[in-house]
Amino acid sequence: MKYISLNHNSAPTSFRDAVINGLAPDKGLYFPEEEICLSSKLLKSINNIDDVELCYEVIKEYIGNEIPKNRLIDIISNTISFEIPVKEIENSIYSLELFHGPTLAFKDVGAKFMALCLDYFKENNSSKKMTVLVATSGDTGGAVANGFSGTKDIDVCILYPKGKISEVQEKQITTNSSFVQAIEVEGDFDLCQSMVKNAFNDNDINQKISLTSANSINVARWLPQMFYYFLASKKIENTNPNIYSVPSGNFGNICAGILAQSMGLPIKHFVASTNVNDTIPRYIREGIYEPLKTKNTISNAMDVSEPSNFIRIQKIFNNDLQKIRENISGYSFDDKSTVDCIEKLNQHNNYITDPHSAIGYLGLKKYIQENNLNNFNGLFVSTAHPIKFKDTVENSIKSQLEYPDSIKSIMDREKSAKTMKSYSELKEYLMHKD
Ligand SMILES: *Cc1c(COP(=O)(O)O)cnc(C)c1O
């Protein structure tokens, strides 16, 4: 499989180069050159296939022969090594819980898969040492740090805005092995991001070390997210049509679901659920793409006004707004509705949810109501464990959350981070770290 640039000014490239470079030379996102359809035989038998084998069948054409089968199977089993339950929380409404991975966020799947692919490519190429550089507003940092924790010869640098991420998130970023350097930036997420961008454009740095980005546009983070749509379908045994509501920020997760649908996985409809950063719901409704200034919300992993992956969704639907409308509905919710929903789900359904997943639930309910649906399975994607947004959730349900066992041990670990306030400090560090 070759990958084309969606800016159409770079030559098609291999999966390997697409993963290592992240973006095409013309700054476009990579997209698979060929459409893949699964055989009807496979689609009919997904309930009977082993999870790892199913995921292998789903992704193999996208990787081609660039990773040998045995190794790819290994990578997949490491990527989906935790449970992905589908819980019915009320009649025909299910929570697809993607937060049982090592850092309790769905980003674990993409980050792990990408780390293991890079690890393989690194072993088979003795060039300069790789450094993964990433800016995070919260969940990405922990997932990337953890994903790369077992890889050799790959350094990881994670920039996060001081005081603007939750305690659990900070521990996950700052308590790793010596290969993972946490950098606490005295400024906001935009400053972190611009420091990272400067580094990628800096010739001095690029001559000295090989920099790789691990952000959500990387094809190795995007594609494996298809796995959980297949695994969820496997768990639902009735034949009612499946509707997925996906809490969306950069639209990578929902876009992977749509790619799964395009390969033949039966999904009736997608709901793109956002917070008040509602560029896409407005676009779907009004046909005008008009990003506004990004607003801060309690579902901060979705505080995005120009979702980078939306261009991939447009590509899948050939830029046909009508087709997009037939397949995707969009709804946005403010913080007040989010808090009310967390409270109500706790009271009436005895289900505790984080703010992002709550928005997924709200979008699903709204779509079902507006369309008077009867026989269906409604799945909202639960993207983070409530403990990752402890303060917000505790304030909403007015009681305390317990730390899950997997988090307890890191909460006692000592934080280790460098503090920086400008690009020159980051450059100094990257130039002399070895
Ligand atoms: C990253 C993230 C999202 C948004 O996912 P996208 O793929 O960027 O749309 C939603 N919820 C949580 C908890 C996240 O960390």
Query: 323-377: per-residue pLDDT in tens?
Result: 999 999 999 999 999 999 999 999 999 999 999 999 999 999 999 999 999 999 9
Residue of the CA atom closest to atom 2 of ligand 1: 301
Q: Give the number of C-alpha atoms closer than 13 A to the C-alpha of residue 190, restricted to the C-beta side.
A: 7
Non-local CB neighbours of 344 within 8 Å, separated by 6+ positions = none
Edge-to-edge strand list for the sheet holding 130-135: 210-213, 130-135, 154-161, 180-185, 418-420
- Collapsing DSSP to helix, strand or coil, 32 comes out as strand
**124 confidence band (pLDDT: 50, 70, 90):** confident
Q: Which of 192-201, 222-231, 345-354 has the lowest mean pLDDT?
A: 192-201
Contact 19, 114 (CB under 8 A): yes
pLDDT at 237: 85
> What b/e string do you get for 368-399 counting C-beta neighbours within 10 Å, with b at 16 or more?
beeeebeebbbbbbbbbbbbbbbebbbebbee
Distance 255 CA to ligand 1 centre (A): 12
Query: 88-111: per-residue pLDDT in tens?
Result: 999 999 999 999 999 999 999 999
C-alpha span between 282 and 182 (Å, rounded): 37
Residue of the CA atom closest to atom 1 of ligand 1: 301
pLDDT at 152: 79
- 84-105+221-397 CATH, one of 3.40.50.1100, 3.40.50.150, 3.40.190.290, 3.90.1300.10: 3.40.50.1100
Residues with a CB atom less than 6 Å from ligand 1? 105, 107, 139, 216, 247-253, 301-302, 356, 383-384
CA 117, 118, 124 angle in degrees (round to 5)?
Answer: 100
Q: Decide the pairing of beta strands 130-135 and 93-97.
A: unpaired
Ligand 1, atom nearest to 384 Cα: 13
The two structure tokens encoding residue 167: 């305690």
Distance 299 CA to ligand 1 centre (A): 9
**231 confidence band (pLDDT: 50, 70, 90):** very high
Strands (E), 118-215: 130-135, 154-161, 180-185, 210-213
The two structure tokens encoding residue 176: 């790793």
Residue percentage of the chain with pLDDT more than 90? 84
C-alpha span between 204 and 401 (Å, rounded): 48
pLDDT at 291: 94
The two structure tokens encoding residue 318: 């050939």
pLDDT at 129: 77
Non-local CB neighbours of 68 within 8 Å, separated by 6+ positions = none
- Collapsing DSSP to helix, strand or coil, 296 comes out as coil
